[in-house]
Amino acid sequence: MMQSSESAREEAKTTPPASGRFDRTSIILHWFTVLLIAVQFSSAWLRQMVDHNSSFAATLLDTHRNSGVLIWTVSMTRLVWLHNYAYLPPFPEGMPRLQQTIAKANEYGLYALLLVQPITGLGRVLLRGAPFDLFIWEAPALFEPNDAIRHLLEKAHEFGANALFALIGLHAGAALFHRLILRDGVLQRMLPWNSQAVGVGEPIRGRLPVRRNKTNSRSVLAHGRRSF
Ligand code: HEM
């Protein structure tokens, strides 16, 4: 029984969808995260521009808290999915090792910040020592107010937001570079719609060497599947 669920997981991880794209769940979770991050930055920035005593500012802060907690939950779900079931298409053949290492480091950094940032945010709210709304509940004051630690968390939250913004810029910039300059099908593998079938590990067209896939996809994957 254990063995069959193990082999089902291995099957899911090594069997590419017919299009050679990421699996559907990974794609949905990726774009849901993008949406939540957009909500997160716009609610924080908008709040800085409006009167902090207005009800609009309070709504923005509620939205920011709720969406931040959702980001943490979705990121954990993504990690579990990634580890157990996700299909990760290999990097295009010919992609330099250094570039692969940078891409992976960028992904690790994004996950780390997506998990830490909500914690520093929640911490700064908790250490106000006052009840606050979270989704449909009112969370009680769980801690005594602590201005010293809260100040540290505020700094960490600000730093985390800037670092996350920089990593997202690098990540999105690299995706556009693949789309517009290398034209190797990397972006299409993660788009919510299937704009073009992409061969496993093959550039669509363009500057990277194209490998025709003579063996079956499973054996290609055995060599080419990218680890997270
Ligand atoms: C990935 C998740 C998050 C991102 C990207 C994010 C981003 C930001 C940014 C850019 C700011 C403005 C700069 C600053 O003052 O630090 C901010 C402020 C803030 N964040 Fe977050 N945040 C996240 C999660 C959270 C969570 C989960 C909470 C609380 C539960 C939270 C609470 C706050 C608070 C209270 C402020 C100050 C708002 C103000 O006083 O104007 N954040 N956040």
* Rounded Cα gap, residues 5 and 95, in angstroms: 34
Tens of each residue's pLDDT in the chain, 228 residues: 555 667 767 766 666 666 789 999 999 999 999 999 999 999 999 999 999 999 999 999 999 999 999 999 999 999 999 999 999 999 988 899 999 999 999 999 999 999 999 999 999 999 999 999 999 999 999 999 999 999 999 999 999 999 999 999 999 999 999 999 999 999 999 999 987 645 444 443 332 333 323 333 332 333 345 666
Total tally of structural domains belonging to the chain: 1
In this structure, which residue's CA is closest to atom 38 in ligand 1? 44
Provide the residue range defining the domain that includes 190. Answer: 2-224
Sign for the CA dihedral angle at 154, 155, 158, 160 comes to: negative
Cβ 94 vs Cβ 104: under 8 Å? no
Backbone phi, then psi, for 132, in 5-degree steps? -150, 155
70 lines ligand 1 (CB under 6 A): no
Nearest residue by C-alpha to atom 16 in ligand 1: 158
Q: What is the DSSP letter of 51?
A: -
Task: Label residue 129 left, alpha or beta by phi (over 0 means left) and psi (-120 to 50 means alpha).
Answer: left
Name the residue at shortest CA distance from atom 34 of ligand 1. 121
